[in-house]
Structure 1
Amino acid sequence: MLHDDPHAHTLLPPEPELRVKALETLLVAKGLVDPATLDAIVEQMQNHVGPRAGARVVARAWTDPAFRARILADPMPDLIEMELTGAQGEHVVVVENTPEVHNVVVCTLCSCYPWPLLGVPPAWYKSDAYRARVVREPRAVLAEFGLGLPDTQAVRVWDSTAEMRYLILPMQPEASRGLDAGALEAWVTRNAMIGTGLPEAPA
């Protein structure tokens, strides 16, 4: 399976955390980076951005038809108002899953990803295997993630670039109907917003 097979993550060096720490130590020792700045970036990524930001957008779209219509037409004004833009999120397009079409996102050239909405990309998203195979055989790749789609539902693959990144608006599960936006956020998984998964009831 792509997301469990360590051999799929060919872009990652062995023991990446040790290499990152060694590089950080070297850069700090040479005076090229400020440790306090690095700590602030890590704190921002861990506590203020990430999949929960994207989940907030999806949950609101499920409960607010006017908001949903706006973000499908042009999400940037609302994302700016929600303070969910910035580096790696300057230009975002929202695409909607329907019973007829299931969308999935990849970046075939590198690993472009909407960081302000989804946080740091998962290792499998950056792997050579995912980037190459999801374009050629999307149904097979999605099946490896445990996502079996009906034959009547087409699969559309969106290729992110430095100029354009994508957020999937998944279909709302029937079992979640009637919940408010706050409760719905817990149903929205990171993979559902990439297209390799579906919303799930919180544990």
Structure 2
Amino acid sequence: MHDDPHIDNELDDMTARVRALETILVEKGLVDPAAVDAIIETYEHKVGPRNGAAIVARAWSEPDFADWLREDANEAIASMGFVGRQGEHMVARFNTPDEHNMVVCTLCSCYPWPVLGLPPTWYKTPAYRSRAVREPRAVLKEFGVTLPETTHINVWDSTAEIRYLVIPERPEGTQGMDAAALADLVTRDSMIGCGQPLRPETP
């Protein structure tokens, strides 16, 4: 048992390291805490998963845009104003009843920030980075995604040269929903391929 009140036992190792590094940099006057908060706020709430959800919703409702995404995701995504660092060299992969796509970065944690925001902690862990490649079906099951044995799983390795956005299958019962309502069904994990979109509420 640790009796030191300054130790936050609820922090995982990575978060604790980041917080310690930030504290040192702030104390040395090398980092402005307000600037750090502003960057985090931007990526969590302004260029976060809501951008990706808007792309998915448009792909679900506009076949021409979906075709554009398949052919040139960079241009299609840029047409919606979602560009920036870590968002270059984008490729969209579409889930179907026969194929399911999931994304991993086996070397580090390459991730499309402009469309998905900050990467989740689990995405950066060695366990996910190795197991997603070796046993993707088991990993998906742990995320609550159980696929038919007949569904082929593609695992795409994100790198600095290419980053992926998964376009999940459109849920049933969403006919007639507008783009904003559709976007509300899209989850961050579904755009990584480790989750499914939400189902519309039954009236």
TM-score under structure 2 length normalisation = 0.87
Contact 2:111 2:158 in 1 (8 A): yes
CA displacement, residues 155-187 of structure 1 (integer Å, 9 cap, x when unaligned): 111000011110001110111122111100111
Contact 2:106 2:157 in 1 (8 A): yes
CA displacement, residues 1-29 of structure 1 (integer Å, 9 cap, x when unaligned): xxxxxxxxxxxx84554543332232123
Residue identity in the other structure for 2:133: V
Contact 1:186 1:202 in 2 (8 A): no
- What is the aligned length? 191
Identical counterparts, % of pairs:
57
Of residues 116, 120, 124, the one that matches 2:118 is 120
Once residues 94 and 110 of structure 1 are traced to their aligned partners in structure 2, the CA distance between those partners, rounded to angstroms, is 20
Residue identity in the other structure for 2:155: V
The residue aligned with 2:58 is: 60
Once residues 43 and 127 of structure 1 are traced to their aligned partners in structure 2, the CA distance between those partners, rounded to angstroms, is 23
Of residues 135, 149, 161, the one that matches 2:133 is 135
Is 2:76 aligned against 1:71?
no
Residue identity in the other structure for 1:39: D
* Closer/same/farther in 2, CA of residues 17 and 101 from structure 1, 3 Å limit: closer
Deviation at 1:110, TM superposition (A): 0.9
The residue aligned with 1:201 is: 199
Once residues 13 and 122 of structure 2 are traced to their aligned partners in structure 1, the CA distance between those partners, rounded to angstroms, is 16
Once residues 15 and 98 of structure 2 are traced to their aligned partners in structure 1, the CA distance between those partners, rounded to angstroms, is 42
Contact 1:186 1:201 in 2 (8 A): no
The gaps in structure 1 that reach 5 residues or longer are 1-12
Which of 1 and 2 has greater Rg?
2
**3-state DSSP class of the match of 1:102?**
strand
**3-state DSSP class of the match of 1:148?**
coil
Deviation at 1:79, TM superposition (A): 1.9
CA displacement, residues 175-202 of structure 1 (integer Å, 9 cap, x when unaligned): 1122111100111111111111111126
Once residues 200 and 51 of structure 2 are traced to their aligned partners in structure 1, the CA distance between those partners, rounded to angstroms, is 17
**3-state DSSP class of the match of 2:184?**
helix
Deviation at 1:86, TM superposition (A): 1.0
Once residues 200 and 78 of structure 1 are traced to their aligned partners in structure 2, the CA distance between those partners, rounded to angstroms, is 24
The gaps in structure 2 that reach 5 residues or longer are 1-10
Contact 1:112 1:161 in 2 (8 A): yes
* Closer/same/farther in 2, CA of residues 115 and 30 from structure 1, 3 Å limit: same
The residue aligned with 2:155 is: 157
Once residues 144 and 17 of structure 1 are traced to their aligned partners in structure 2, the CA distance between those partners, rounded to angstroms, is 23
* Closer/same/farther in 2, CA of residues 26 and 202 from structure 1, 3 Å limit: farther
Is 2:37 aligned against 1:50?
no
CA displacement, residues 26-50 of structure 1 (integer Å, 9 cap, x when unaligned): 2123232233422321221232011
* Closer/same/farther in 2, CA of residues 19 and 131 from structure 1, 3 Å limit: closer
**3-state DSSP class of the match of 2:197?**
coil
